A and B are shown apart, each in its own frame.
Chain A
Amino acid sequence: MSEKKDIPEDMFLAPENRKHTVTGPDGEVIHVDPLNDYFCQDLPKVEAPYKGVLEKFLNWARAESLWVLAYGTGCGSIELPPLFSPRFDAYRFGVMMRPTPRQSGVLIISGYLAVKTLKRAIRSYEQMQNPKYVIALGSCTINGGMYFDSYNTINRLDHYLPVDVYIAGCMPRPEAILAGFNKLKERIKSGNAEGANHYAENLEWYKANQKKIIKDWNMPTYNW
């Protein structure tokens, strides 16, 4: 056992993965632990809506470039590819798909959310940049729809994420989704789409609801 003491803890790690110190160009000494998972622990802040000269212009600009996160969370995602095909052509409304949350501003919850997906949807939503909006597709996001008595799907989305526009139907037709996008644009242009601020204000309530059903919460409270 005495031999074991001589072995340093990080002996089996590659040199670049050991704890070490780095001196910056301005002489500042930084301690680096590459195996530690760093994340921002700050909670989101409320951004007061801009009420200046440019307000209308900014809202117009936000409304005309809605970038959608390409995450099909439920069966409503079957109608999203036709939405971007020549027949319905959502591009003419400034709506386009983006592959990562960092680039997108609209999260479409396409239908029912299983508890396992809700965890991922929350992460995706929190990683998105402001201004961000949530569109809920289908009746299952409103009151559970067909799955109101299922043990694994949530009933009301607005208890977990701030919803800007609901689109009813099972499933909503692409025309209905386009109408929903137009409704969202109206809300943004009139300055009413403040879902992200609502989320930041009522973070404790949202987090309590989320942690009630997500039993193994193995992520930071807020995922930047």
Chain B
Amino acid sequence: MSNTIFDWKKDRSMFPEPDKDGKPVVELDSQKYIKVWQGPNHPGVTGNMALELTISGDEVMEAKTHVGYLHRGFEKLFERRRYMQCFPTSIRMCVPEPDINEYNLSRGTELLSGIEVPEMAGWLRMIALEMARLQVLLRTVPGQGGTIGLGLPAQWGLYYRELILDRFEELTGGRIYHMYILPGGVRGLLPDGFKKRLEDNLVKIEAFMKEVDRVVYSNAVFKKRTKGIGVVPPEWIDQYGATGPVARAAGYKRDVRKDYPYLYYDRLDFDYNVEHESDVFARFHVRRKDVDTTIDLLRQIMAKMPEKGELRAETPNVLHWKIPRGETLVRCESSRGEYLFYMVADGSIYPRRINLRGPSYTHGVVLLEKLLVNANISDVSSIMVSLATCPPEIER
């Protein structure tokens, strides 16, 4: 863990001693510190959010997250929309990976009204969810290099992401917002020859990931700038509710697909991708292994799914869909971690409350603020991207 090149942390004589909670004592009036705003208009932040950094030299003394730049009041809008109208609105809650919103809302509606989805629709849902995960990972895995100046793989990955978006366009008609998984089932069958074209793309992506390994993963500069940076102590994982790659990089076996199996994930063969160093490099490594897992899962799904079947369950008239009073909790695994909806129905055609709790709610606020203390200012965006903060999830 100790790195001889980065021993700038050792000479701490000019920095203030932290107080008993481990927070540095910062007196802005002493004129040793300056405030720097990273964001909202900054290429290094993930999405439209801001970090208020108090720095001394090039070391961050205190960090504060400012969110709310993307606040649209979704949870208020749901009160005015019927269940079916909620569904196209909800997918805009997380822009990079909208399918998980579709799935969670549909699943919650089905659970509350007691509808069983046909088997074929379940398998098609899994294809959509895994493809969505793959397209996000193709942005974030090479994009991690972009945070420290390796901009080429990030651009390169976008090309391969386009291949998956093409398949999405073929399947659903949309590039970003698919609206494919809807309450009661899915919207369409796989087009003719879809499996073969997807398989071709997966082969290309596998070859590309080997290049990423050579350009980013085994790059000396990348290793030196990510190993030992942004270490999340394992005891913080439960304390702050961290999930997904952050928890897995700290040695915890946490994956919603295995822990709380939904759809038909229990029929697939895959394993937790666990690392132990818990730094930026370990989280990158976990995501890198997730790409392989996702490609493998897509192949397994295509091999195991039935050829034909019912696409949608019998539902009431969707505009007059009264759902009996009840509460439920729906979760699924997004590329960033556990993605969770808490839904309350009150017996009317409008939902009473749909509350989203995404992984960024803690990753982007409490965990990020903690990790940035004593970090070098050049590592800020690297740490931020490794936590995969997605601001629309925090503010909805």
Physical contact A–B (CB less than 8 Å): yes
- A-side residues, CB < 8 A to B, are 12-14, 17, 69-75, 77-79, 81-82, 84-87, 97, 99, 101, 112, 114, 116-117, 120, 124, 146-147, 149-153, 170-171, 173
Cβ contact within 8 Å between B72 and A99: no
- Docked complex Cα distance between A151 and B176 (Å): 25
B155 close to A117 (CB less than 8 A):
no
Count A/B pairs, Cβ under 8 Å: 87
- Which one of B87-95, B192-200, B266-274, B301-309 contacts A? B87-95
Nearest chain-B residue to A145 (Cβ)? B92
User: Is B48's beta carbon under 8 Å from chain A?
Assistant: yes
Q: Which residue of B lies closest to A120 (CB)?
A: B40
Apart from A72-B48, A116-B68, 17 more pairs, CB < 8 Å? A13-B31, A69-B41, A71-B40, A81-B139, A85-B159, A85-B162, A86-B155, A86-B159, A116-B69, A120-B40, A146-B89, A147-B77, A150-B73, A151-B73, A153-B72, A153-B73, A170-B177
Chain A residues, Cβ within 8 Å of B92: 75, 146
With both beta carbons as reference points, the residue of chain A lying nearest to B85 in the complex is identified as A146
CB proximity to A under 8 Å, residues B93-122: 95-96
Q: State whether A173 touches B175 (Cβ < 8 A).
A: yes
Give the Cβ gap from B266 to chain A, nearest Cβ, in Å. 32
Task: Name the CB-closest residue of B to A84.
Answer: B155
Q: Which of B29, B43, B77, B165 contacts A12 (CB 8 A)?
A: B29
A-side contacts of B159, CB under 8 Å? 85-87
Q: How many residues does chain B have at the interface if contact means C-beta atoms less than 8 Å apart?
A: 33
Using Cβ atoms and an 8 Å threshold, which residues of chain B touch A116?
68-69, 71
Report which B residues bind A (CB closer than 8 A): 29, 31, 40-43, 47-48, 68-73, 76-77, 80, 88-89, 92, 95-96, 139, 155, 158-159, 161-162, 165, 175-177, 392
Q: Cβ of B73: which chain A residues have Cβ within 8 Å of it?
A: 147, 150-153
B102 → A minimal CB distance (Å):
15
Known contacts A14-B31, A71-B41, A72-B47; A114 and B88 CB within 8 A of each other: no
Ranked 8 nearest A-B pairs via Cβ: A85-B158, A75-B95, A71-B41, A117-B69, A150-B73, A78-B95, A87-B162, A116-B68
Q: Are the C-beta atoms of B70 and A74 separated by less than 8 Å? A: yes
How many angstroms between the C-alpha atoms of A112 and B68 in the bound complex? 13
How distant is B323 from chain A, measured CB to nearest CB, in Å?
Answer: 22
What is the distance, in angstroms, from B329's C-beta to the closest C-beta of chain A?
26
A78 to B48, Cβ gap below 8 A? Answer: no
Give the distance in Å from the alpha carbon of A16 to the alpha carbon of B193 in the complex.
73
Question: Are B392's CB and A75's CB within 8 A?
Answer: yes
CB distance from A108 to the nearest CB of B (A): 12
Q: What residue of chain A has the Cβ atom nearest to residue B67's Cβ?
A: A116
Interface of B is mostly: loop
Output the least CB separation between A145 and chain B (Å).
Answer: 10
Q: List 15 A-B contacts (CB under 8 A).
A: A14-B31, A75-B70, A75-B95, A82-B162, A85-B158, A97-B43, A112-B72, A114-B69, A116-B69, A117-B40, A120-B41, A147-B72, A147-B77, A150-B72, A151-B76
In the complex, how many angstroms separate the beta carbon of A73 from the nearest chain B beta carbon? Answer: 6
Contact between B41 and A124, CB atoms less than 8 A apart: yes
Closest B residue to A153 using CB positions: B72
- With A114-B72, A120-B41, A170-B177 already in contact, the answer to whether A17 and B31 are too (CB < 8 A) is yes
CB of B68 within 8 A of CB of A78, answer no
Q: Is the CB of B68 within 8 A of A114?
A: yes
Q: Which residue of A lies closest to B395 (CB)?
A: A114
CB neighbours (8 Å) of B41 from chain A are 69-71, 101, 120, 124
Report the minimum CB–CB distance from B236 to chain A (whole Å).
29
B166 to chain A: closest residue by CB: A87
**Known contacts A86-B155, A151-B76, A170-B177: does B96 contact A117 (CB below 8 Å)?**
no
**Nearest-Cβ distance from residue B151 to partner chain A, whole angstroms:** 11
**Min distance, Cβ A27 to any Cβ of chain B, angstroms:** 32
In the bound complex, CA of A216 to CA of B96 (Å): 32
Closest residue on chain B to residue A140 by CB atoms:
B72
B77 cross-chain contacts in A, Cβ below 8 A? 147, 149-150
Nearest neighbor of B66 in chain A, beta-carbon distance:
A116
Cβ distance A67 to chain B, nearest Cβ, rounded Å? 14
Nearest B residue to A170 via CB reads B177
Shortest Cβ distance from residue B4 to the other chain A in the assembled complex, whole angstroms? 33
Across the interface, A99 reaches (CB within 8 A) one of B40, B43, B165, namely: B43
A195 to chain B, nearest CB (A): 20
In contact, A74 and B162 (Cβ under 8 angstroms) = no
Question: Which residues of B are found within 8 Å of A173, using beta-carbon distances?
Answer: 175
